[in-house]
Structures are given as C-alpha cells and as structure tokens.
Chain A
Amino acid sequence: MHGHVDYATFLHQISGFLGSYYLILALMNAILAFYLWNSGKATTLFRVAGFPFTTATLWLLVAVAFTIISPLAMSGDARWVVFISIPQPLRDFSNWLLGPVVYSVGGLVLFVVLFLGRKFFVKPMVAWTILILAMLFMGLAMTDPNFAEIVTKPDNVPIVGLIFLLGFFTWLATAKAVENDERARQGLPPTEKLDDEKVLVWPDLVYTELICMVAVTALLLFWGLMLQAPLEEPASSVKTPNPSKAPWYFLGLQEMLVYYDPWMAGVVLPSMVVFGLMAIPYLDFNKQGNGYYTIEQRKFAYIMFQFGFFLLWIMLIIMGTFLRGPNWNFFGLFETWDPHKVEALNNVNLSEYFWVKMLNMPLPRPSPTDGALRSFFTYILRELPGIVLLVGYFTVIPPALVLFSKFFRELFLKMGFVRYMVLNNLLLMMMLLPLKMVLRWSPLNLKYFIAYPEFLLNF
C-alpha cells in the first residue's frame, strides 16, 4: 500500500486522516477542560502573577496545541510535517534498540511498574495524561511510512483498537479495585455493595441495552464506511506470501512456533490453555473477591491471570502483528520489511551442550547392530540431561515450594495433593514459555531440552 508510493504521495494520502485525528484530540482535551472548569473540579497547579493556572487551563492549552498541529498534518507537506514527526535519529535508535528481548523484558517491567504503582496510575489525571501521550505518539509515528503501513492494514486496525480498549478497561477495573481495597482497609464494604437496592429491569436495564445496541451499530456503520474489507489477489497455492501469517488472534500461537515444535505450539499448548482456563474456577478456592473488583484480596490469582493474558497472549499478538515481518524476522516499528534481512540462527540442543561441549564426547548413538532395547536406552541416555531437567522442573519444584514457602504450603494444605499439583503444573507449563524464550535469546541459543528428531519429538 503506502510502501510503494513516494513520500509526498504518502503524506498526501494520510493528511486528511491525521488532521482529523489531531482535531479529535483537541476536542477531547477541550471537553475535559470545560468539564473541569464547569464542575468546579479543576485544581490550581500554581499561580502566575496571582492568576491561577488550573488543570482546566492545562488541558485547554493542550487542546490549543493540538488545534495548531492539526493544519500542519492536514497540509500533507513534508516541510511542515517534519515538525510533527518523530526525528529520524530517534526512529533509527528505536529500531536498533527494539528486539524480541527488549520488547518482552520491557513489557514485563512495564507490567510490574504499573502494578506496583497502581494507586498512582489510576488517578484520572494520570491515566488521561498517559492516554493523550499514547495518542500523540501514534500521531507522530503515523508520518513514518513503515509504521503507517502496518498499523493501517485493514485487518490490523482492530488490534490498535484492542490496545486502547484493553488499556481503558484495565484502568477502569484497577481504579475500582484500588478504591475497594482502600475501603476494605477501613472496614467498609466494596462500592458494589452500595448499589444494593433493586430496580426494575424496564426501564433501567432495557434502555441501557438499547443504547448499547445503537452505539455498537453506529460504530460498525462508521467503521464499515471508513474502511474497506481487504480483498487481495485470488488465491494461489503456488505464490506463498512472505510473511505468511495466521489471523491475528492466533499470532500468539504462531510466535510460540519459534520456540516450540508445532505439536507443542499448535496442539498441546493451545489445548492446555483451554483446559487451564476451564480449570480456573476449580483451582481458585479463595472465597474472597466474588462479585466485586479487588486486587489485594486475590493477588496470586490476579497476577497469574494477568501474566498469562497480558504478557503471553496480548503482547505476543501485538508482536506477531506489528513486529514480525518476512521470514518471521523481528522488525522495529519504523523499519522497512526487508525480505532479505538475515538473522543467524545457530541454535544448539541441550544434549549437545552436555555431551559435546561439557564432556568433550560425541553424542551417544546406537550402532546399526544394536537391538531395539539397546538402541532405546542409548536414545534415553543421549537426552538424559534434558529429561532429568524437565522431569525435575515439574516434579521437584511443586514440593520444594511447599517446603520453602509459607504461601504455597497453605495452598497445598487447602487444595490437597491432586489439585495442588494440577495448579502448579499448569503454571509451570505457562512459565516454561518465557523461560524457553530467554534461553533461546541468551548466548546459549538453546534449541531443545529434549531433541528426538528421529521420533519427531522435540521439546
């Protein structure tokens, strides 16, 4: 699409969209400023010569700034657009910096920071600032043809929506949880309890539903009018596109293919995700936090779910959609998808590390004259390090946790052996993915713990 036109044409194509985008941003801030001023909720930040500079003034100024930016974008003229673009050196730096490791570790750090600082981040003004900054970043980045190309691909647009929706709802839920947790500390019931009275479903619920339906219909009509559904060339089983991607909601699985063989990434792990989700109500025996938002009262369940949902599902989908290009190589946000980019792949199996590098021996290998049983044991011997490691991982860690952690001891006592082991093994299975990713990226370049190419059984 955009990638094939020159820069001037590209700017011309996006100018209308970008100009309106900044106008909407201006409007959003102006409405907020008006609301703060009108409701008397604006607080004074500081005074200039006796004149109070309030939060309303602040957002009004932001609105003015966006109003000024808008025509610059609308001009579609490279001389103006430079002022509302991310400087090229910064873009190059970001491309250079961003790789799978920085992306994933960055995601984890972000998650931890947001979680620990949740009382700060849920404040409406803080959350609003983050939203506006995120939208500003989107706008500034949009003048980069590479960024614009992947973000505006029709089937990728929903993911941009997903990011903002998830951000919004996570904020909403966290804000309520923080409030409820604070109330619990003071011995008060959760806010949900305050709306205990019964109301009639007609009109209260029925009208809400009607309004929701109208809103969704309006959104779909707007979306359908603005964006045409993609239709590429007719199917051809000989012309393989590069990259070939599954639909976006399966890209987390496709990403797992880098670290696991297809039987794991495509069959076993998805089944375990489904099974694990279904098992949640039967594993989480905590009676608190039923029917209201809270984090403190169910911290363990909360963190585990968010880890799986955000870091291992959503983050991988975003990476698979926006950052994985031809040959499933990693590309920065502003990098051209060059199909000739080569990445050295030199992955080594654990058995090779053990036998060849550590013991300086060749890999054990059955000789053609060996009987079936003897060959079998030779194969077992060859992969023994990985087998021991993995079996240990799944069987030693759970009891070790019981011995050394008070929290897990209580879990064990309350859940009983079977449920405790199921929970632990599901969680350990989940954790194995990031562990495997790290080992692959580390200088070890670990390929498989257990490698039986003879039996198509690699792990």
Chain B
Amino acid sequence: MPPIGEMIRESQIWKSIFRHPMPTDRRNRIVVMLTNFFLHLHPVSIKKQGIALSYTWCMGGVTFFLFLVETVTGVLLMFYYRPTLEWAYNDILALRDVTSLGILREIHRWGAHAMVITVWLHMYRVFLTGSYKPPREFNWVIGVILLLLTLLLSFTGYLLPWDQLAIWAITVGSNMARATPVLGYEGPGAPLLSVDGLDMITSASDARFGLLGARFVGEETLNRFYVLHCVAIPLGVSLLLAIHFWRVRKDGGISGPL
C-alpha cells in the first residue's frame, strides 16, 4: 500500500480542490502560484531582496494577518454580544465568566492594539526605504487612509464593552468634534451659521452629534459605533486593501534599488 499521505494526495477529492500536485519541482512551484486563488496575489518569482525580512520586516503582511485575525474573532464575538445599554456590558461580562474558549476577547483586543502598532511600523519601514517614491506615490496615499481607518476601527471598538474605560475614552476622544470650525457648536465660526438669530449649529445638530448620534455618549452612540466597527469600516478597509495589494503588484512589486 502507498503511504497514507500519498493516498490522500492522489485521491479525487484532493485533486479536485487543489488544481496542481504538491509543488516540489520547479514547474509545479510555478503552477501553484498561478492556479491557486490565494497564492495568485503574489507574483511567481521575486527578487530575493524583496522578501528579505530585514528589508520589509514583513510588517505589511503581519498587519494584514492581524486584520484577518480580528475579522474571525470579531465575527465570533458578535455571536455573544448585543449592542444595547441593557446587554452590552453584561454580555462582555458573561463572555469572560461563562463562555468557554475564554480568551476570545483577549485575542481580539490585543490583536487590535498590535495592529495599530504594526501599521505604524509598516509605515515607518516604507518611509525609511523611500518606497513611497515614484511610481508608488499613490499606494502611500492609500496606505495613509488605511492607517486612519485602522485607528478608527480601534477607536469605535473601544466603546463596545460599555464600561467606564470605554465611555470616558470615547467621550474624551469625541469631545473635540464639538470644536470643529463652523460645524461644531463650540467651534470658531459656528455662530456665523445662524438665521434670524436662530443658531443652526447647536449641540443637537453639530459635527459631534453626527458622530455620536446624540448629545453625549449614549445608546445611539453604541449602535452607531457598533455598525461602524463591525460593518462599515471593515468593508472600507477590505476595499482599500484590495487596491493596496493590487497596486503593490502593478507598481512593480516590492521596491528595491534600481
């Protein structure tokens, strides 16, 4: 009888999933890159320098991986969590005390912190190697938006446990929107927007209200941040990531000396 591994690899099921044999020779190593959906993001061959850990620090890759980890653990957390004043805190409490696989929330939270750090390090690397220079200018711009979205993802998630740490951090972090020029009711120029002595920009119609859905951090905010955190921002990040990776390829692969 042939070894069990070989039997599996020769089976019809295996062959129907993987469209190429185990890549052990040069031909198959090339074929695997071209025919596998996930691998085809990569080129087939690459300059040795472009994959050196000491050059890229793999920081973009690690950031992407952390994004995936956050997505998976985030979906699992959503099974347990209801974004209402009645349940939010208790659900998190139960998640800690009752649920099995008790470190789900830990992985999600520390992964989020780690992602903020790795995205900075990635930007730092890209700057230090001058990789934003032509032809990669626009990919840097997309990167900056990704950085912003990463911070906003983290920020909106911070509110969800609905404990003291959460609401006060969000209160402090969003208070400044009150002072948006013209559009915040404590901002410079806001009094200009008044019609017949009636202020258009009030605490119930200004930029901060738009962000929080209320005059202070309350249930509307929780709902708003929940939707932003779980749906809107991840979708935005996914779209931009697709463009980001596509541009890495189209701009000639990982940067290197000419």
Chain A residues within 8 Å of B, Cβ to Cβ: 155, 158, 161-162, 165-166, 169, 172-173, 176-177, 189-190, 192-206, 208-209, 212-213, 216-217, 219-221, 223-225, 227-237, 239-241, 244-247, 249-250, 253-254, 257, 261-263, 265-268, 274, 277-278, 280-282, 284, 286-294, 298, 302, 305, 309, 452, 455-457
**Interface segment out of the listed B4-12, B43-51, B232-240:** B43-51
Residues in A whose Cβ lies below 8 Å from that of B120: 162
- Whether A220 lies near B48 (C-beta < 8 A) is no
- Whether B164 lies near A234 (C-beta < 8 A) is yes
- Whether B256 lies near A267 (C-beta < 8 A) is no
- Whether A245 lies near B117 (C-beta < 8 A) is no
B166 interfacial by beta-carbon distance below 8 Å? yes
Known A224-B103, A249-B151: A198·B48 in contact at CB below 8 Å? yes
- Whether B163 lies near A267 (C-beta < 8 A) is no
Residues in B whose Cβ lies below 8 Å from that of A162: 117, 120
Complex Cα gap A342–B54 (Å):
49
Complex Cα gap A193–B52 (Å):
12
- Whether B109 lies near A209 (C-beta < 8 A) is no
**Which 3 pairs of residues, A with B, have the shortest CB-CB distance?**
A266-B176, A224-B106, A281-B137
Complex Cα gap A31–B113 (Å):
30
Known A206-B39, A267-B177, A281-B132: A196·B48 in contact at CB below 8 Å? yes
Residues in B whose Cβ lies below 8 Å from that of A298: 130
Complex Cα gap A240–B62 (Å):
37
- Whether A196 lies near B49 (C-beta < 8 A) is yes
- Whether A290 lies near B255 (C-beta < 8 A) is yes
- Whether B46 lies near A223 (C-beta < 8 A) is no
Could you list 10 further interchain pairs (A-B, Cβ under 8 angstroms) beyond the known A201-B44, A237-B218? A161-B117, A172-B57, A193-B49, A201-B33, A217-B69, A223-B106, A229-B106, A267-B187, A287-B133, A298-B130
Residues in A whose Cβ lies below 8 Å from that of B114: 158, 216, 219-220
Q: Mark B138-157, 1 if CB is under 8 A from A, else 0.
A: 10110010011001001100
- The 8 listed contacts between A and B (C-beta, < 8 Å) are A162-B120, A177-B128, A199-B46, A200-B26, A227-B110, A291-B131, A291-B257, A452-B188
Complex Cα gap A213–B111 (Å):
13
Known A277-B144, A292-B129, A456-B187: A262·B175 in contact at CB below 8 Å? yes
- Whether A209 lies near B179 (C-beta < 8 A) is no
- Whether B144 lies near A229 (C-beta < 8 A) is no
- Whether A291 lies near B129 (C-beta < 8 A) is yes
Tell me which of B53, B120, B168, B178 has the highest count of chain A C-beta atoms within 10 A of its own C-beta.
B168
Shortest distance between the CB of A448 and any CB in chain B (Å) = 12
- Whether A212 lies near B61 (C-beta < 8 A) is yes
Interface residues in B26-84 (C-beta closer than 8 Å to A): 26, 29-30, 32-33, 39, 42-49, 51-55, 57-58, 61-62, 65-66, 69
Chain B residues within 8 Å of A, Cβ to Cβ: 23, 26, 29-30, 32-33, 39, 42-49, 51-55, 57-58, 61-62, 65-66, 69, 89, 92-93, 96, 103, 105-107, 109-111, 113-114, 116-117, 120-121, 124-125, 127-134, 136-138, 140-141, 144, 147-148, 151, 154-155, 158, 161-169, 171-173, 175-181, 184, 186-191, 216-218, 255-258
- Whether A208 lies near B89 (C-beta < 8 A) is no
**Which of B48, B93, B132, B154 has a CB less than 8 Å from the CB of A195?**
B48
- Whether B124 lies near A169 (C-beta < 8 A) is yes
**Which of B29, B107, B141 has a CB less than 8 Å from the CB of A281?**
B141
Tell me which of B30, B47, B92, B178 has the highest count of chain A C-beta atoms within 10 A of its own C-beta.
B47
Shortest distance between the CB of B100 and any CB in chain A (Å) = 14
Shortest distance between the CB of A267 and any CB in chain B (Å) = 5
Shortest distance between the CB of A217 and any CB in chain B (Å) = 8
Shortest distance between the CB of A203 and any CB in chain B (Å) = 7
- Whether A231 lies near B163 (C-beta < 8 A) is yes
Known A198-B46, A262-B178: A237·B217 in contact at CB below 8 Å? yes
- Whether A263 lies near B180 (C-beta < 8 A) is yes
- Whether B96 lies near A250 (C-beta < 8 A) is no
Complex Cα gap A144–B108 (Å):
31
- Whether B49 lies near A195 (C-beta < 8 A) is yes
Shortest distance between the CB of B193 and any CB in chain A (Å) = 13
Shortest distance between the CB of B23 and any CB in chain A (Å) = 5
Complex Cα gap A268–B176 (Å):
10
- Whether A221 lies near B107 (C-beta < 8 A) is yes
Nearest A residue (CB) for B104: A224
Complex Cα gap A202–B28 (Å):
9
Complex Cα gap A293–B54 (Å):
11
Known A209-B58, A235-B163: A201·B257 in contact at CB below 8 Å? no
Residues in B whose Cβ lies below 8 Å from that of A227: 106, 110
- Whether A235 lies near B47 (C-beta < 8 A) is no
Complex Cα gap A162–B29 (Å):
38
Residues in A whose Cβ lies below 8 Å from that of B136: 281
Residues in A whose Cβ lies below 8 Å from that of B154: 247, 249
Complex Cα gap A395–B177 (Å):
29
**Which of A209, A219, A247 has a CB less than 8 Å from the CB of B158?**
A247
Shortest distance between the CB of B55 and any CB in chain A (Å) = 6
Complex Cα gap A231–B158 (Å):
11
Residues in A whose Cβ lies below 8 Å from that of B216: 237
- Whether A228 lies near B168 (C-beta < 8 A) is no
- Whether A212 lies near B186 (C-beta < 8 A) is no
Residues in B whose Cβ lies below 8 Å from that of A158: 110, 113-114, 116-117
